[in-house]
Amino acid sequence: MLDVRRIYVEPEAAALPRGQQVLARWPDAELVEVASHWDIPELHGDEANVDRWVRIKTEALVLGVKKSLTARPNGRSSDFIAPSTANGCAMACAYCYVPRRKGYSNPITVFANIDRITGYLARHVARQGSKPEPNQCDPQAWVYDIGENSDCSVDATVSDNVRDLVDLFRGLPTAKASFATKHVNRDLLGWDPQGRTRIRFSLMPDRVSRLVDVRTDRVAERIAAIDDFVEAGYEVHLNLSPVIVHDGWLEDWAELLEQVADGTSARTKAQLAAEVIMLTHNEALHDVNLRWHPKAEQVLWRPELQQGKRSQTGGWNVRYRTGAKGRYVAQLTDLLTERLPSCRVRYAF
């Protein structure tokens, strides 16, 4: 997936041990010094790059320093969003919200100040004490999403940042790391997480995934990996997202859930849980996608099923219409209960 030819690097990041490790991994890459990973117009200006995204995602890497460290309260899939150790992604799902902040080509930026990030997280976890009562994130542990702005399974091919986080949480009995992924990185199987990292494999019916999941591993491959990750000491949940409504969508989901039921062990099923997230989309992303992947927009942009809302930043976001959306969620969660009865739904919206 990566064939790094050029690394855009902040000098402060290059001087850190993690920065040096990344630079040593691609010794022949051209180095381009940048003042800030936020401001690299030749990478992030979507207008100019729309035809070159995949090449940029494959060949460019950014090495920076994470300046502000905060763990934001979340409450849906996790209790907190941990400070990112990377942002951007080498994959290119048509519905992905990750590129919105940095422009659409959005190759991986890896943050080299991992020691500051893990130190911050350890102190944040310590300050919380024990979780006072179960919630939808977890019955006992404070859950920290470590992959809000990237895919950690791919990030782990770039640097040891994700491994350092798995190592950190192994020693934190009151907390858990968690990330969603569409890539199967079997290197992670040797990391001995001892149940303190939750991997959420993202799944949707293969027919639609082939249209909208670009450069990801195939859904069947993700399902086939679930038992291996459970055996390796991970908690594995399902991230059923985004749920896209199209003709025959429930039949496709029934087939997918059958595949999970048939392809996972009793041990896996006993620890399984799922989050269900209906598609939201965005007009700016829709306009960009029309220029490179109009077929995806035939299932993502459905004005007859969707309603819009102005976002705080002034963008126009759409989601399935009130009432209908509730029905879709109920239909899918009922199906889940029928086909995968041991899999509890952590949340659905």
- Determine if 91 is a binding residue for ligand SF4 (CB under 6 A): yes
Task: Print the binding letters for residues 186-225 with ligand SF4: x by CB under 6 A, - otherwise.
Answer: ------------------------------x---------
Counting contacts by CB under 6 A, is residue 93 touching ligand SF4? yes
Q: Provide, rounded to whole angstroms, the least separation between the CB of residue 12 and ligand SF4.
A: 25
Cis bond upstream, residue 134 (ω within 30): no
Shortest distance in whole angstroms from residue 185 CB to ligand SF4: 12
Subset of 163-182 contacting ligand SF4 (CB under 6 A): 182
CA dihedral (321, 326, 331, 337) in degrees, to 10, reads: 150
CA 102 to chain centroid, in Å, comes to 16
Residue 100, CA atoms < 13 Å, CB-side half-sphere? 19
Identify the DSSP state of 160: S
Q: Which is nearer to ligand SF4, 50 or 172 (CB)?
A: 50
Find the shortest distance in angstroms from Cβ 130 to ligand SF4.
32
- Beta strands 235-243; 273-278: pairing state: parallel
**Which residue stretch of 2-10, 28-36, 68-76, 90-98 sits at the interface with ligand SF4 (rule: CB under 6 A)?**
90-98
- Helices and strands, counts by H and E, the chain: 15, 16
Tell me how crowded residue 55 is: count the other CB atoms within 10 A of its CB.
14
Write the CB contacts of 244 (distance below 8 Å, at least 6 apart in sequence): 95, 204, 208, 212, 279, 299, 300
Asked if 184 interacts with ligand SF4 (CB under 6 A), we say: no
Report the half-sphere exposure of 226 (CA within 13 A, side-chain side).
Answer: 29
Q: Which of residues 64 and 242 has its CB atom nearest to ligand SF4 in the complex?
A: 242
Q: Which stretch binds ligand SF4 (CB under 6 A): 19-27, 87-95, 267-275, 282-290?
A: 87-95
| In contact, 181 and 201? CB cutoff 8 Å | yes
In angstroms, what is the minimal distance from the CB of 266 to ligand SF4? 29
What is the closest distance, in whole angstroms, from the C-beta atom of residue 150 to ligand SF4 in the complex?
A: 6
Binding site for ligand SF4 (CB under 6 A): 89, 91-93, 96, 98, 150-151, 182, 216
